Amino acid sequence: MSEALPAVLASPEARIVIIGPGLMGGSLAKALRTVAGFSGRIHAVIKSVDEHAAVQKATYTEKRPGQKSKRPKLVNACSAELGPAMDGADLVLVATPPQTIPEIFRALAEQLPSPTIVTEIASVKGDIAVLGKALFGHRYVGSHPLVGSEQQGFRAAKGTLFRGARCVLTPMDKGDDQTLAFLHRFWSALGCEVLEMSPEEHDARLAKTSHLPHLLAYAYMAFLGESDPAALTSLGGGGLRDFSRIAASDPALWREILQENRHYLHADLSRFRAVLDELDKALWDDNPSVLEDILVQGQAARAQFQFPPPLKT
Amino acid sequence: MSEALPAVLASPEARIVIIGPGLMGGSLAKALRTVAGFSGRIHAVIKSVDEHAAVQKATYTEKRPGQKSKRPKLVNACSAELGPAMDGADLVLVATPPQTIPEIFRALAEQLPSPTIVTEIASVKGDIAVLGKALFGHRYVGSHPLVGSEQQGFRAAKGTLFRGARCVLTPMDKGDDQTLAFLHRFWSALGCEVLEMSPEEHDARLAKTSHLPHLLAYAYMAFLGESDPAALTSLGGGGLRDFSRIAASDPALWREILQENRHYLHADLSRFRAVLDELDKALWDDNPSVLEDILVQGQAARAQFQFPPPLKT
């Protein structure tokens, strides 16, 4: 069950600005309408001319008991610049790639009405959190919904993307409590289970659970690409399909994420390689009990994780 | 569309022996009945007392136009030993773990009626193919349906497991053509797309497309298991779920497969580590263009693969 939106967003006068309505930002708009029942205004800020038309045309179905369903606009206004969007905004959601965020934050800081809350959904916090705090103080707390898809763009957006997913909020001190409570209700209303940790803990943990798997999946597929792929492409079963799915993700976005979090990743990679070396040695020494021990450890560690169910497609 | 079974299996007098009716062998029995319409006798050879009862009780629905559906036995007879199963067998399918196959092959060779065809479904051929050829000559060709599941046992068996999957057959010389044609029709009738290559090609290619991903997924999960898993288990999203799914597979089975194919795997692992080193260096040198190049190569290689659709659960 989703919770109710924060009180200030429950009014038809409420205003939310989504900067970058791609897969994630577009899904946020859809989830706001169809999961959280948001009836206020959504203003999208979007640079891409191609996406602009699709976002402007998009509608959603409003279900009211006893009435015919209507198809109002998903997004009430679109602009390429921040300026027109800021007037009376209650919440600004920055849903663009990590490396664009500092510039957007600086532009926002010049125009932001004083009570507006700001968050972003970057997969790595690092400098972004430091800058957000410096520019917006307690009006900023970072968000990271642990969802995504190898697909890209507004057309792939889904209102159900956040249902049953975890969302990590990254407060920095006690003064953030009010914004934290606001964003906690916001993400809960979209269907998320909310977790809280510092930006540093977030980056250290996500390096292990998300960034390293992406790095390994890309490296593995690059290895296959060097190994006579024509002889291999018909041999992909379900195991390879699932293992490598995240290597179909946007390389430019993931280059940014890996680069931003390289300090944690480099250390994790070195520990991962130690396990790999141990495994390779057991294989080469033909040492079945050491080999099986490592596999048993891997299987046991996986059994401790609770995963969301696969998205229905 | 599935093709028809080989003529000799189309008769109600036909006899198929399945040694090891677990996930794979059980799915074979179900697919024979429900996909290929096999109406002959299936004899299961099964050591496990626990599984015995489940296999003996299992029925399937026979649909005949205008008649009430009946629920006949999936398997007509079960025994712990080979002896009772061999009489009049047209085809013996060995569906047990790789390291049990040599002993089963030797026992089979003493009791096998002369026209019976033998195959096994091991994920690695190596010594198994050499022994099969030595014991059974042209009556043996290896099979490897590229399907599976992290689940185990007869209870997880599904008749649709082979639908749309690839099955690799591993003939060794021209004399194998008749058995090859027989098995080609057999696997096609279960819904597979059939590929042919030598046992050596099979092992070299599967090391890259299946065994290395399993090894990496286990090594990665073992790394997570060493890294304060309690702080991480709530952070599993869809990416981690899919990337690590194969690490939930049976460690004892995969220890055998990795061990059997260690020569190819060791060489591949060393090439994979070279890509990983390159990637780590680009990360550490903060070299975004080299980093992105590797990710782009990985993404491009994956786009060349054709994968089967996910199994409906």
Q: Nearest chain B Cα to A244, which residue?
A: B243
Q: Is residue B256 part of a domain?
A: yes
Q: Is residue B240 part of a domain?
A: yes
**pLDDT, position B37:** 94
pLDDT tens profile B88-145: 999 999 999 999 999 999 999 999 988 999 999 999 999 999 999 999 999 999 999 9
Q: Where among B197, B213, B239 does a domain terminate?
A: B197
Contact with chain B for residue A16, Cβ under 8 A: no
Could you tell me where the DSSP H helices lie in B232-305? 238-244, 251-260, 262-284, 288-303
pLDDT tens profile A271-286: 999 999 999 999 999 9
CATH number of the CATH domain containing A189? 3.40.50.720
Contact with chain A for residue B47, Cβ under 8 A: no
Between the CA of residue B203 and those of B13, B23, B194, B265, B271, what are the distances in Å? 36, 22, 16, 9, 17
Q: Is residue A91 part of a domain?
A: yes
Q: Is residue A80 part of a domain?
A: yes
CATH number of the CATH domain containing A217? 1.10.3660.10
Average the pLDDT over A90-104 and give the result: 96
Q: Which residues of B touch A209 (CB under 8 A)?
A: 224, 232, 235-237, 240
What total of structural domains would you count in chain B? 2
Instruction: For residue B6, give the DSSP letter.
Output: P
Contact with chain B for residue A308, Cβ under 8 A: yes
- On whether both A188 and A216 belong to a single domain, the answer is no
- Check CB contact under 8 Å for A220 and B213: yes
Q: Nearest chain A Cα to B206, which residue?
A: A235
Average the pLDDT over A140-153 and give the result: 89
This prediction's pTM? 0.91
- On whether both A179 and A229 belong to a single domain, the answer is no
- On whether both B136 and B281 belong to a single domain, the answer is no
Size of interface A-B (CB pairs under 8 A): 326
Average the pLDDT over A93-116 and give the result: 95
- On whether both B188 and B132 belong to a single domain, the answer is yes
Q: B271 lies in which domain range?
A: 203-303
Instruction: For residue A304, give the DSSP letter.
Output: T
Q: Is residue A3 part of a domain?
A: no
Q: Which residues of B touch A290 (CB under 8 A)?
A: none
Residues in chain B: 313
pLDDT tens profile A220-256: 999 999 998 888 999 998 899 999 999 999 999 999 9
| Neighbouring C-beta atoms of residue B124, cutoff 10 Å | 26
Percent of chain B with pLDDT over 90: 84
- On whether both A184 and A247 belong to a single domain, the answer is no
- On whether both B223 and B93 belong to a single domain, the answer is no
Q: Is residue B1 part of a domain?
A: no
Q: Which residues of B touch A99 (CB under 8 A)?
A: none
pLDDT of A1 above 60:
no
Q: How far is A233 from chain B (nearest CA, A)?
A: 4
- On whether both B190 and B61 belong to a single domain, the answer is yes
Q: Which residues of B touch A234 (CB under 8 A)?
A: 166, 195, 306
Contact with chain A for residue B312, Cβ under 8 A: no
- On whether both B24 and B157 belong to a single domain, the answer is yes
Point out the residues of chain B with pLDDT beneath 50: 1, 313
Q: Where among A152, A176, A197 does a domain terminate?
A: A197
- On whether both A148 and A251 belong to a single domain, the answer is no
Q: How far is A290 from chain B (nearest CA, A)?
A: 10
- On whether both B129 and B29 belong to a single domain, the answer is yes
**pLDDT, position B241:** 95
Cβ B32 vs Cβ B190: under 8 Å: yes
pLDDT tens profile A40-75: 999 999 988 878 889 999 999 876 666 777 789 999
- Check CB contact under 8 Å for A259 and B283: yes
pLDDT of A148 above 80:
no
- On whether both A251 and A217 belong to a single domain, the answer is yes
Contact with chain B for residue A27, Cβ under 8 A: no
- On whether both B172 and B210 belong to a single domain, the answer is no
- Check CB contact under 8 Å for A235 and B271: no
Q: Where among B197, B214, B244 does a domain terminate?
A: B197
